[in-house]
Amino acid sequence: MVQASEHEDKALDRDCTTLSRHVLQQFQGFSAQAQDLSALMNRVALAGKLVARHLSRAGLMEGVLGFTGEVNVQGESVKKMDVYANDVFISVFKQSGLVCRLASEEMDEPYYIPENCPIGRYTLLYDPIDGSSNTDTNLSLGSIFAIRQQEGDDIDGKAKDLLSTGDKQIGAGYILYGPSTMLVYTMGKGVHSFTLDPSLGEFILTEENIKIPDSGSVYSVNEGNFWQWEESVREYVRYVHRTEGYSARYSGAMVSDIHRILVQGGVFLYPGTVQKPEGKLRLLYESAPLAYVIEQAGGRATTGRMNILDVVPQKLHQRTPLIIGSKENVAKVESFIQNGH
Ligand code: AHG
Ligand code: MN
Ligand code: MN
């Protein structure tokens, strides 16, 4: 029999490292939890594929782009794409036996899938489309997700157990809809990225155990808010302006900005303003999942005063300031916020 070379073997093995297989490998065995999480991630991946397909044809179909005319619980105008992606995540978990509740940035209250609830102890929290303002101009977008285990019986149907710290996340990640579609996840055992191979319809392993550089030259912030910030944040940005070597990068979708920072280093900031000290980003659907990913990669995420993963939300749609990225860059911002220099 003709033997494949070691090189061919490796290439084939890599091509076969799909997302669901990778999750199983993470748990080194075929325990019930490993099977559940692998199946759950497979459904998240399906949601990502459906959204990516929709986005890739958006300019060719009627009724896909633009606003719905509604305003969501966040007080923001809803895009048709937000609604589509929100529904996709619900749909993929129907008849899954995995996820009883879904909580999304776009829904006032958590959504229950009653047929899953007797056995489905997982809750999915998600931002269906991150960077909605990029939708109509064919620019990068993302989806963000976190997985939590349901605690208690949730008898009143208010999902109060979700009002707990980010340390309760058992998995988190994002899907980046860029020139290719990528999925990045952590389950507390490092950060791993996958690229969608459209010819296979599978997410295939791109990089395992990604480590964020300890420092980087990118700072990513909406400087249009300069005069709304606290003086300490303005002082930090002035420091960046007079220090050689920094580059500004801000796309309007934090998933793509933070992905760049994960790979190349730097810092992303969405500080509070004097009028809105909590800022814009949502703790449970945006800040906490991304904080989990970045911490697992060796970086940091803070409000400026405490670690994001230690913040206890008072309500489901709570907002939080966010400073996230390379350790040294985050420490510098913190030092301006806490010590003024
Ligand atoms: P979303 O589209 O889910 O509302 O999130 C957008 C977020 C984030 O992705 C982005 O960095 C930021 O809001 C952009 O906001 P500004 O336009 O205020 O900079
Ligand atoms: Mn978002
Ligand atoms: Mn969104």
Ligand 2 (ion): which residues have CB within 5 A? Answer: 127, 130, 286
* Confidence tier at 2 by pLDDT (50, 70, 90): low
Alpha-carbon distances, residue 46 vs 42, 60, 190, 292 (angstroms): 6, 22, 22, 22
Model confidence pLDDT, tens digit, residues 14-25: 888 999 999 999
Distance CA 298, CA 102 (A): 29
Residue 315: count other Cβ atoms within 10 Å of its Cβ.
10
Select from 74, 126, 133 the residue to mutate for testing ligand 1; criterion: most ligand atoms less than 8 Å from CB.
Answer: 133
Quote the ligand 2 centre to 254 CA distance (angstroms): 7
Question: Ligand nearest 268 Cα, by number?
Answer: 1
User: For residue 255, which atom of ligand 1 is closest to its CA?
Assistant: 9
Model confidence pLDDT, tens digit, residues 251-308: 999 999 999 999 999 999 999 999 999 999 999 999 999 999 999 999 999 999 999 9
Ligand 1 neighbours by CB, cut-off 6 Å: 76, 105, 127, 130-133, 222, 252-254, 280
Quote the ligand 3 centre to 135 CA distance (angstroms): 11
- Cα dihedral 83→86→92→97 (10° resolution): -130
- 291 contact partners, CB below 8 Å, separation of at least 6: 166, 301, 307, 308, 309, 322, 324
Give the residue from 287, 300, 292, 305 showing the smallest Cα distance to 327: 300
- Which residue do the tokens 């109060």 mark? 160
- 272 contact partners, CB below 8 Å, separation of at least 6: 229, 230, 278, 279, 321
Model confidence pLDDT, tens digit, residues 167-197: 999 999 999 999 999 999 999 999 999 999 9
Residue 112 is encoded by which pair of tokens? 């229950």
Three-state DSSP class for residue 90:
helix
Q: Is the pTM of this model over 0.95?
A: yes
